[in-house]
Structure 1
């Protein structure tokens, strides 16, 4: 099966700058979770020993409770695992952009604005750069799924703002339970259109109306 021509948008003989360039703010945003964790650990390392030496055990007890309480509950463990995979998928998406042609001629890659857990995996909201569209993400769907160690990857484009793309990483069967807070609550499911026709849902129908049609 021939590859989509979007998988090679630059001439083979063209010398391009190394991908991954970006401003300081963009680099900070890519590593925001890790930087915040390091800042929190640094704050704890500076304040906790001084508090213990001064005989103040309350900060130590609060910290121990904050760490152990989520760890002993299934909800807390599931939350931690789900957000761990969000961080992993965010970095793997960025790595896919670096290793493919999903970057500009100046070396800038799309920006992952937000990534949230879903019942089947993760869903990332991406701001594309000039020269990159949702169709290119769809062309690299198999590479994205492989990079994220997932089953598949689905790509959606915002109906009004073409620069906004949602990449849904599917890594398991749908889990039961309440719908986690995510992109559906932020923008609404009907604000997005799938690039694959088999994923498309009628944008003007409510879930009850779709069930009536199916029946």
Structure 2
């Protein structure tokens, strides 16, 4: 028996097109990090070659120090590792959408707009396509966790914009200093609701409870 009816939103006999199709801009957006890294390495290599051919070693020393010194420190290594896992999780999320039914009938998958490291893993902001909602990501939360090699995956939906979904990937215990400015700073924590009742924070009674007029006088 399936865990959730949303896991099988397409009939088994229906002949669907191959998932993952998209225009050139969409494909470039999916590999934007790799393209920026290649461009940076190319610029770095050209700069070093030009400096060494002219006999100027100062740029070579400055550039290599700017890369090697942060990598030799613990903070620098944590920063590199956190961004590495962000890239890995982004591609694994896209792979889950390709391998499951989290794509449209025309084969388009949701867009990972932004992914940022957290103290326990990563947090991705996703723009869903027509026909896909946050509840479907929740139905596939175990598949997402397994694909990202993580412990679990939590799904949050925007209060006013249902097409925006946050997928929180939990892969380790909380690590102090590993988190970057998260999505809460951009959108606010109260703008997102969990699809699991056990993860929702209770309301603040100091601000949400309003006593009727004359209640204190009748006590």
What is the TM-score when the length of structure 1 is the normalising length? 0.91
Matches within 5 A, 1:2-17: 2-17=2-17
Instruction: Find the counterpart in structure 1 of residue 180 from structure 2.
Output: 180
Instruction: Find the counterpart in structure 1 of residue 89 from structure 2.
Output: 89
2:204 maps to 1:205: yes
Matches within 5 A, 1:1-215: 2-177=2-177, 180-202=180-202, 205=204
Root-mean-square deviation (Å): 1.8
C-alpha distance in 2 between matches for 1:192 and 1:205: 16
Q: Secondary structure at the match of 1:181?
A: coil
C-alpha distance in 2 between matches for 1:194 and 1:14: 33
Q: 1:16 to 1:77 in 2, by over 3 A?
A: same
Q: 1:121 to 1:135 in 2, by over 3 A?
A: same
Indicate if the aligned counterparts of 2:93 and 2:144 stay in contact, CA closer than 8 A.
yes
Work out the number of aligned pairs and report it: 208
Unpaired runs of 5+ residues, structure 2, are 208-219
Q: Secondary structure at the match of 1:155?
A: strand
Q: Secondary structure at the match of 1:156?
A: strand
Q: 1:88 to 1:175 in 2, by over 3 A?
A: same
Residue 125 (structure 1) shift: 0.3
C-alpha distance in 2 between matches for 1:59 and 1:33: 25
Residue 124 (structure 1) shift: 0.3
Q: Secondary structure at the match of 1:11?
A: coil
Q: Residue by residue, what CA displacement relative to the aligned partner does 1:156-209 show, whole Å, maximum 9, x if unpaired? A: 00001000000000001112348531101111111100001111114x539x98
Indicate if the aligned counterparts of 2:79 and 2:178 stay in contact, CA closer than 8 A.
no
C-alpha distance in 2 between matches for 1:175 and 1:42: 34
Q: 1:182 to 1:106 in 2, by over 3 A?
A: same
Runs of 4 or more above 3 Å deviation: none
Q: Secondary structure at the match of 2:92?
A: helix
Residue 116 (structure 1) shift: 0.5
Specify the structure having the higher radius of gyration (Cα): 2
Q: Secondary structure at the match of 1:39?
A: helix
- Of stretches 184-193 and 93-102 in structure 1, the one that deviates more from structure 2 is 184-193
Residue 46 (structure 1) shift: 2.5
Q: Secondary structure at the match of 1:116?
A: strand
Unpaired runs of 5+ residues, structure 1, are 210-215
